[in-house]
Protein backbone atom coordinates (compact mmCIF):
# COMPACT_ATOMS: atom_id res chain seq x y z
CA UNK A 1 0.00 0.00 0.00
CA UNK A 2 2.76 2.37 1.10
CA UNK A 3 4.91 1.50 -1.94
CA UNK A 4 1.99 2.16 -4.25
CA UNK A 5 1.42 5.55 -2.61
CA UNK A 6 5.09 6.45 -2.98
CA UNK A 7 5.13 5.33 -6.60
CA UNK A 8 2.06 7.41 -7.28
CA UNK A 9 3.72 10.39 -5.62
CA UNK A 10 6.89 9.89 -7.65
CA UNK A 11 4.80 9.69 -10.82
CA UNK A 12 3.08 12.97 -9.95
CA UNK A 13 6.36 14.74 -9.20
CA UNK A 14 7.78 13.47 -12.47
CA UNK A 15 4.74 14.78 -14.31
CA UNK A 16 5.25 18.16 -12.66
CA UNK A 17 8.91 18.24 -13.62
CA UNK A 18 8.01 17.44 -17.22
CA UNK A 19 5.33 20.11 -17.43
CA UNK A 20 6.11 23.09 -19.66
CA UNK A 21 7.34 26.03 -17.56
CA UNK A 22 5.47 28.67 -19.54
CA UNK A 23 2.26 28.43 -17.53
CA UNK A 24 0.86 31.73 -18.77
CA UNK A 25 0.83 30.56 -22.33
CA UNK A 26 -0.64 27.21 -21.30
CA UNK A 27 -3.36 28.92 -19.26
CA UNK A 28 -4.26 31.38 -21.98
CA UNK A 29 -4.43 28.83 -24.70
CA UNK A 30 -6.48 26.49 -22.53
CA UNK A 31 -8.65 29.32 -21.20
CA UNK A 32 -9.57 30.52 -24.63
CA UNK A 33 -10.60 27.00 -25.60
CA UNK A 34 -12.53 26.36 -22.40
CA UNK A 35 -16.27 26.06 -22.72
CA UNK A 36 -18.59 28.11 -20.51
CA UNK A 37 -20.63 26.03 -18.12
CA UNK A 38 -24.36 26.55 -17.68
CA UNK A 39 -24.68 27.43 -14.03
CA UNK A 40 -27.53 28.86 -12.00
CA UNK A 41 -27.65 30.14 -8.45
CA UNK A 42 -30.71 29.19 -6.36
CA UNK A 43 -33.59 31.63 -6.61
CA UNK A 44 -35.28 33.10 -3.57
CA UNK A 45 -34.04 33.74 -0.07
CA UNK A 46 -30.61 32.20 0.45
CA UNK A 47 -29.10 34.69 2.88
CA UNK A 48 -29.67 32.24 5.78
CA UNK A 49 -27.15 29.85 4.20
CA UNK A 50 -23.72 29.83 5.76
CA UNK A 51 -20.83 30.25 3.31
CA UNK A 52 -20.15 26.51 3.36
CA UNK A 53 -23.81 25.71 2.72
CA UNK A 54 -24.06 27.75 -0.47
CA UNK A 55 -24.68 25.84 -3.68
CA UNK A 56 -25.43 26.20 -7.37
CA UNK A 57 -27.02 24.18 -10.12
CA UNK A 58 -25.01 22.88 -13.03
CA UNK A 59 -27.01 22.23 -16.20
CA UNK A 60 -25.61 19.30 -18.12
CA UNK A 61 -26.90 17.34 -21.11
CA UNK A 62 -27.88 14.59 -18.67
CA UNK A 63 -29.88 17.02 -16.49
CA UNK A 64 -29.40 19.41 -13.63
CA UNK A 65 -26.99 18.77 -10.75
CA UNK A 66 -26.84 20.54 -7.39
CA UNK A 67 -23.27 21.20 -6.27
CA UNK A 68 -22.22 22.67 -2.93
CA UNK A 69 -19.53 25.34 -2.98
CA UNK A 70 -17.49 23.04 -0.77
CA UNK A 71 -17.71 20.10 -3.18
CA UNK A 72 -14.31 21.14 -4.50
CA UNK A 73 -13.64 17.66 -5.88
CA UNK A 74 -16.70 17.93 -8.17
CA UNK A 75 -15.93 21.51 -9.16
CA UNK A 76 -12.26 20.96 -10.01
CA UNK A 77 -13.11 18.01 -12.26
CA UNK A 78 -14.67 20.35 -14.81
CA UNK A 79 -12.14 22.69 -16.43
CA UNK A 80 -12.98 26.36 -15.85
CA UNK A 81 -15.93 25.75 -13.50
CA UNK A 82 -14.13 26.97 -10.35
CA UNK A 83 -12.94 30.12 -12.13
CA UNK A 84 -16.37 30.74 -13.65
CA UNK A 85 -18.20 30.56 -10.30
CA UNK A 86 -15.82 32.20 -7.88
CA UNK A 87 -13.89 34.58 -10.08
CA UNK A 88 -16.18 35.53 -13.00
CA UNK A 89 -19.59 35.44 -11.28
CA UNK A 90 -18.71 36.13 -7.65
CA UNK A 91 -15.78 38.46 -8.36
CA UNK A 92 -13.27 36.90 -5.96
CA UNK A 93 -10.23 39.15 -5.61
CA UNK A 94 -8.34 37.33 -2.86
CA UNK A 95 -5.29 35.81 -4.58
CA UNK A 96 -4.35 39.24 -6.00
CA UNK A 97 -5.10 41.01 -2.72
CA UNK A 98 -3.13 38.63 -0.50
CA UNK A 99 -0.22 38.72 -2.95
CA UNK A 100 -0.17 42.52 -2.95
CA UNK A 101 -0.25 42.83 0.85
CA UNK A 102 2.51 40.23 1.10
CA UNK A 103 4.52 42.31 -1.34
CA UNK A 104 3.84 45.45 0.72
CA UNK A 105 4.98 43.68 3.90
CA UNK A 106 8.13 42.26 2.32
CA UNK A 107 8.97 45.70 0.96
CA UNK A 108 9.34 46.85 4.58
CA UNK A 109 12.32 44.50 4.91
CA UNK A 110 15.52 43.67 3.06
CA UNK A 111 13.82 40.64 1.45
CA UNK A 112 12.60 40.39 -2.11
CA UNK A 113 9.22 38.87 -2.96
CA UNK A 114 10.46 37.21 -6.12
CA UNK A 115 13.17 35.37 -4.19
CA UNK A 116 10.84 33.85 -1.60
CA UNK A 117 10.22 30.11 -1.53
CA UNK A 118 6.52 29.89 -0.88
CA UNK A 119 4.36 27.09 0.52
CA UNK A 120 0.75 27.51 -0.69
CA UNK A 121 -1.57 25.68 1.72
CA UNK A 122 -5.00 24.79 0.26
CA UNK A 123 -3.59 25.57 -3.17
CA UNK A 124 -6.64 24.23 -5.02
CA UNK A 125 -6.24 24.48 -8.78
CA UNK A 126 -3.46 27.05 -8.52
CA UNK A 127 -5.16 30.47 -8.48
CA UNK A 128 -2.87 31.80 -5.74
CA UNK A 129 0.15 30.22 -7.40
CA UNK A 130 -0.77 32.09 -10.57
CA UNK A 131 -1.07 35.43 -8.72
CA UNK A 132 2.33 34.90 -7.09
CA UNK A 133 3.93 33.93 -10.40
CA UNK A 134 2.51 37.11 -11.92
CA UNK A 135 4.42 38.99 -9.20
CA UNK A 136 7.65 37.25 -10.14
CA UNK A 137 7.79 34.50 -7.51
CA UNK A 138 9.67 31.56 -8.93
CA UNK A 139 9.73 28.89 -6.21
CA UNK A 140 6.33 27.50 -5.24
CA UNK A 141 5.24 24.40 -3.34
CA UNK A 142 1.52 23.56 -3.35
CA UNK A 143 -0.43 21.54 -0.80
CA UNK A 144 -4.04 20.42 -0.87
CA UNK A 145 -5.97 17.68 0.81
CA UNK A 146 -7.78 16.36 -2.28
CA UNK A 147 -6.21 14.75 -5.36
CA UNK A 148 -8.70 16.53 -7.64
CA UNK A 149 -6.99 19.83 -6.77
CA UNK A 150 -3.65 18.43 -7.87
CA UNK A 151 -5.14 16.95 -11.04
CA UNK A 152 -6.79 20.29 -11.94
CA UNK A 153 -3.52 22.17 -11.36
CA UNK A 154 -1.62 19.84 -13.67
CA UNK A 155 -4.40 20.09 -16.24
CA UNK A 156 -4.96 23.88 -16.13
CA UNK A 157 -1.72 25.37 -14.82
CA UNK A 158 1.03 22.91 -15.65
CA UNK A 159 4.46 23.87 -14.36
CA UNK A 160 3.03 26.33 -11.82
CA UNK A 161 4.40 24.56 -8.74
CA UNK A 162 7.83 23.02 -8.23
CA UNK A 163 6.09 20.31 -6.20
CA UNK A 164 2.51 19.72 -5.18
CA UNK A 165 1.64 17.52 -2.22
CA UNK A 166 -1.74 15.89 -1.69
CA UNK A 167 -1.62 15.59 2.09
CA UNK A 168 -3.70 15.95 5.21
CA UNK A 169 -1.58 18.22 7.40
CA UNK A 170 -3.28 16.97 10.56
CA UNK A 171 -1.74 13.55 9.88
CA UNK A 172 1.63 14.14 8.24
CA UNK A 173 4.09 11.30 8.56
CA UNK A 174 7.53 12.20 9.88
CA UNK A 175 9.00 11.27 6.49
CA UNK A 176 6.66 13.61 4.62
CA UNK A 177 7.19 16.38 7.18
CA UNK A 178 10.94 16.16 6.60
CA UNK A 179 10.48 16.13 2.82
CA UNK A 180 8.30 19.25 2.85
CA UNK A 181 10.64 21.05 5.26
CA UNK A 182 13.58 20.20 3.01
CA UNK A 183 12.23 22.75 0.49
CA UNK A 184 13.30 25.37 3.06
CA UNK A 185 10.38 27.64 2.33
CA UNK A 186 10.58 31.08 3.87
CA UNK A 187 6.95 32.01 3.30
CA UNK A 188 3.58 30.33 3.80
CA UNK A 189 0.36 31.55 2.20
CA UNK A 190 -3.18 30.32 2.39
CA UNK A 191 -6.07 31.91 0.55
CA UNK A 192 -9.81 31.30 0.86
CA UNK A 193 -9.17 28.11 2.76
CA UNK A 194 -9.39 29.01 6.45
CA UNK A 195 -12.47 28.44 8.58
CA UNK A 196 -15.83 27.15 7.34
CA UNK A 197 -14.76 23.55 7.80
CA UNK A 198 -11.74 23.84 5.50
CA UNK A 199 -8.24 23.86 6.97
CA UNK A 200 -8.38 23.04 10.70
CA UNK A 201 -6.18 24.82 13.31
CA UNK A 202 -3.84 21.82 13.65
CA UNK A 203 -3.12 21.76 9.90
CA UNK A 204 -2.56 25.52 9.84
CA UNK A 205 0.01 25.27 12.67
CA UNK A 206 1.71 22.31 10.96
CA UNK A 207 2.01 24.37 7.77
CA UNK A 208 3.38 27.35 9.72
CA UNK A 209 6.03 25.04 11.13
CA UNK A 210 6.77 23.52 7.72
CA UNK A 211 8.48 26.76 6.71
CA UNK A 212 11.59 28.25 8.30
CA UNK A 213 11.41 29.46 11.91
CA UNK A 214 11.64 33.04 10.67
CA UNK A 215 9.41 33.39 7.65
CA UNK A 216 6.65 35.39 6.03
CA UNK A 217 3.04 34.31 6.48
CA UNK A 218 0.10 35.75 4.52
CA UNK A 219 -3.54 34.69 4.54
CA UNK A 220 -7.11 35.94 4.46
CA UNK A 221 -9.92 35.41 6.95
CA UNK A 222 -13.52 36.47 7.18
CA UNK A 223 -13.87 39.76 9.08
CA UNK A 224 -15.99 38.19 11.85
CA UNK A 225 -13.04 35.99 12.81
CA UNK A 226 -11.66 39.00 14.67
CA UNK A 227 -14.88 39.42 16.56
CA UNK A 228 -14.68 37.96 20.08
CA UNK A 229 -18.29 36.85 19.74
CA UNK A 230 -17.11 34.38 17.14
CA UNK A 231 -16.04 31.57 19.44
CA UNK A 232 -15.28 28.92 16.81
CA UNK A 233 -11.97 27.09 17.24
CA UNK A 234 -10.50 28.61 14.14
CA UNK A 235 -11.21 32.25 15.01
CA UNK A 236 -9.89 31.77 18.53
CA UNK A 237 -6.70 30.27 17.18
CA UNK A 238 -6.18 33.10 14.70
CA UNK A 239 -6.70 35.73 17.42
CA UNK A 240 -4.37 33.93 19.82
CA UNK A 241 -1.69 33.64 17.13
CA UNK A 242 -1.95 37.20 15.87
CA UNK A 243 -1.62 38.60 19.37
CA UNK A 244 1.15 36.16 20.32
CA UNK A 245 4.91 36.64 20.22
CA UNK A 246 5.15 34.11 17.38
CA UNK A 247 3.84 36.57 14.78
CA UNK A 248 4.56 40.21 14.03
CA UNK A 249 1.84 41.74 11.90
CA UNK A 250 3.26 43.88 9.06
CA UNK A 251 0.19 44.60 6.99
CA UNK A 252 -3.54 44.14 7.41
CA UNK A 253 -6.31 45.29 5.10
CA UNK A 254 -10.08 44.88 5.05
CA UNK A 255 -11.35 44.29 1.53
CA UNK A 256 -14.15 42.69 -0.46
CA UNK A 257 -13.23 39.02 -0.83
CA UNK A 258 -16.14 38.25 -3.18
CA UNK A 259 -19.91 38.49 -3.51
CA UNK A 260 -22.34 36.05 -1.93
CA UNK A 261 -24.82 34.28 -4.23
CA UNK A 262 -27.30 37.08 -3.36
CA UNK A 263 -24.80 39.67 -4.55
CA UNK A 264 -23.92 40.85 -1.03
CA UNK A 265 -20.24 41.79 -0.54
CA UNK A 266 -18.32 39.47 1.80
CA UNK A 267 -15.59 41.34 3.62
CA UNK A 268 -12.36 39.70 4.70
CA UNK A 269 -9.05 40.76 6.21
CA UNK A 270 -5.86 40.11 4.29
CA UNK A 271 -2.98 39.79 6.73
CA UNK A 272 0.77 39.59 6.19
CA UNK A 273 2.98 38.71 9.14
CA UNK A 274 6.49 37.76 10.00
CA UNK A 275 6.80 34.54 11.93
CA UNK A 276 9.46 34.97 14.61
CA UNK A 277 9.79 31.36 15.78
CA UNK A 278 8.14 27.97 15.39
CA UNK A 279 4.85 27.46 17.17
CA UNK A 280 5.28 24.93 20.01
CA UNK A 281 3.44 21.61 19.65
CA UNK A 282 1.50 22.32 22.83
CA UNK A 283 0.24 25.74 21.63
CA UNK A 284 -3.30 24.56 20.83
CA UNK A 285 -3.46 22.51 24.02
CA UNK A 286 -2.32 25.43 26.15
CA UNK A 287 -5.01 27.62 24.60
CA UNK A 288 -7.64 24.93 25.18
CA UNK A 289 -8.05 24.21 21.47
CA UNK A 290 -6.50 20.77 21.06
C1 LIG B 1 -11.85 27.83 -1.74
S2 LIG B 1 -10.55 26.74 -2.17
C3 LIG B 1 -9.23 27.91 -2.34
C4 LIG B 1 -8.23 27.47 -3.36
C5 LIG B 1 -7.18 28.52 -3.71
N6 LIG B 1 -6.35 28.85 -2.55
C7 LIG B 1 -7.81 29.78 -4.28
O8 LIG B 1 -7.62 30.86 -3.70
O9 LIG B 1 -8.50 29.67 -5.29
C10 LIG B 1 -10.12 25.93 -0.64
C11 LIG B 1 -9.12 24.79 -0.85
O12 LIG B 1 -8.68 24.35 0.44
C13 LIG B 1 -8.52 22.95 0.36
N14 LIG B 1 -8.57 22.39 1.71
C15 LIG B 1 -9.64 22.22 2.50
N16 LIG B 1 -9.28 21.63 3.65
C17 LIG B 1 -7.95 21.42 3.56
C18 LIG B 1 -6.98 20.85 4.43
N19 LIG B 1 -7.32 20.37 5.62
N20 LIG B 1 -5.70 20.82 4.02
C21 LIG B 1 -5.34 21.31 2.80
N22 LIG B 1 -6.22 21.85 1.94
C23 LIG B 1 -7.49 21.91 2.31
C24 LIG B 1 -9.69 22.49 -0.49
O25 LIG B 1 -9.50 21.18 -1.00
C26 LIG B 1 -9.70 23.58 -1.55
O27 LIG B 1 -8.91 23.23 -2.66
Which residue has better confidence, 12 or 252? 252
Closest CA to 268 of 201, 223, 234: 223
Closest CA to 143 of 231, 206, 220: 206
Asked whether 219 lines ligand 1 (CB < 6 A), one says no
Asked whether 151 lines ligand 1 (CB < 6 A), one says no
Q: What is the mean pLDDT of residues 175-186?
A: 97
Q: What is the mean pLDDT of residues 145-165?
A: 98
User: Domains plus CATH for the chain?
Assistant: 37-88 (no CATH), 93-286 (3.40.50.150)
Examine the pLDDT at 30 and tell me if it is beyond 70: no
Asked whether 180 lines ligand 1 (CB < 6 A), one says no
CA separation, residue 185 to residues 92, 140, 143 (Å): 27, 9, 13
For a pocket test of ligand 1, which of 71, 144, 206 has the largest count of ligand atoms closer than 8 A to its C-beta?
Answer: 144
Contact indicator for 113, 65 with CB cutoff of 8 Å: no
Poorest-pLDDT segment among 24-33, 78-87, 209-218, 254-263:
24-33
Cα torsion through 23, 25, 27, 29, rounded to 10: -150
Ligand 1: nearest atom to the Cα of 190: 6
Which residue has better confidence, 119 or 284? 119
Which residue has better confidence, 112 or 242? 112
Give the confidence band of 225 by pLDDT, cuts at 50, 70, 90: confident
Cα torsion through 144, 149, 150, 153, rounded to 10: -120
pTM: 0.88
Give the confidence band of 48 by pLDDT, cuts at 50, 70, 90: confident
Residue 84 phi/psi, 5-degree rounding, is -65, -45
What is the per-residue pLDDT for 10?
44
227 vs 211: CA distance, rounded Å: 28
Examine the pLDDT at 231 and tell me if it is beyond 80: no
Asked whether 270 lines ligand 1 (CB < 6 A), one says no
Q: What is the mean pLDDT of residues 61-76?
A: 95
50 vs 108: CA distance, rounded Å: 37
Ligand 1: nearest atom to the Cα of 127: 9
Q: What is the mean pLDDT of residues 276-286?
A: 87
Give the confidence band of 16 by pLDDT, cuts at 50, 70, 90: very low
What is the per-residue pLDDT for 11?
52
Asked whether 68 lines ligand 1 (CB < 6 A), one says no
Closest CA to 80 of 41, 13, 126: 126
Per DSSP, the residues of 148-211 read: HHHHHHHHHSTTS-SEEEE--TTS--HHHHHHHHTT--SEEEE-S-BSTTSB-HHHHHHHHTTS
The angle subtended at Cα 188 by Cα 186 and Cα 192, nearest 5°, is: 165
Contact indicator for 119, 185 with CB cutoff of 8 Å: yes
Closest CA to 195 of 219, 222, 168, 172: 222
What is the per-residue pLDDT for 50?
76
Q: What is the mean pLDDT of residues 129-139?
A: 97
Which residue has better confidence, 43 or 96? 96
What is the per-residue pLDDT for 283?
86
Examine the pLDDT at 288 and tell me if it is beyond 80: no
The mean of the pLDDT values for the chain is 87
Examine the pLDDT at 262 and tell me if it is beyond 50: yes
Contact indicator for 258, 91 with CB cutoff of 8 Å: yes
Amino acid sequence: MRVVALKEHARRLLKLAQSPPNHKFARQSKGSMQKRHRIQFPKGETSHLDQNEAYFFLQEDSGQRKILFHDYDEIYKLPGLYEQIFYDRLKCTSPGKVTSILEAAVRQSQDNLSELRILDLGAGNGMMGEALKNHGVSRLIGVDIIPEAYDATIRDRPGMYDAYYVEDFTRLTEEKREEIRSWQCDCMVTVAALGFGDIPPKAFIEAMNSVKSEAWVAFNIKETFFDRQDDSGFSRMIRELIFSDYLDVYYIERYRHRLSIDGVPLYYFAIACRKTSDIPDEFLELKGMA
